[in-house]
Amino acid sequence: MILFITGTDTEVGKTYCGVALVSTLVRRGLRVAVMKPVACGVDATPEGPRNADARALAAVANVAADYAEINPYCLALPASPHLAAAAEGVRIDLERLRVGAARLQARSDVLIVEGAGGWFAPLDERHTMADLAATLDARVILVVGLRLGCLNHALLTAAALRTSGVHFAGWIANHVDPGFAQAAANITTLEQRLAAPLLGRVAFDRGPPNSGHEVTITDASYCLDK
């Protein structure tokens, strides 16, 4: 099974929620592999250029994989994937990503794939993250960054998921703005309007991914069983 994590925007906590989901499934005794197919923005490490999001996911997975398997396109420019790829003269090949994902999936019970940016983030002049998720035949989990405007962003993304024909497995409410007074009311509204279950709520002050702060995905079984 492949679960694809997308977000209502960039910087809404996809990686943090992805780490929490991987950790939750590992604790349940599942073999969990991870993949960040396209990453934009790198850090210099002794092993070479690496993306922080891909490294955070790899740190909690319990299926061993080479970095190149986890992050086939590690692009230096912190920009939209199509711009970062163009800057390096690279074309993002969906078939290459499908084959790589299939190899990881064959060694695991669940493969967690994190997208870059939002649902329609461009990969080239024609394809988007939505095309990648469809190519992988993945179930999609939406991370909603709780802040002013999130209702519109979440409902628009959910509508786009429906038109893309993918399976909307559930969503995670992530408190990204500590001053957002209407967070609880917004969650209630989305529970009423999104045709998928709320899988978990992430508090604001929780530290970086892999910091030891516990984040529980309360209903991870739903996205696996339905």
The mean of the pLDDT values for the chain is 90
pTM of the model as a whole: 0.90
d(CA 224, CA 215) in angstroms, rounded, equals: 19
Catalytic residues: 36
d(CA 40, CA 81) in angstroms, rounded, equals: 6
Give tens-digit pLDDT for 183-204.
999 999 999 999 899 998 887 7
β-sheet bridge partners, residue 112: 3, 34
Taken in order of first residue, the domains within the chain and their CATH numbers are 2-225 (3.40.50.300)
Give tens-digit pLDDT for 25-65.
998 899 999 999 999 999 988 888 999 999 999 999 999 99
Q: What pairing do the DSSP bridges indicate for beta strands 48-50 and 43-45?
A: antiparallel
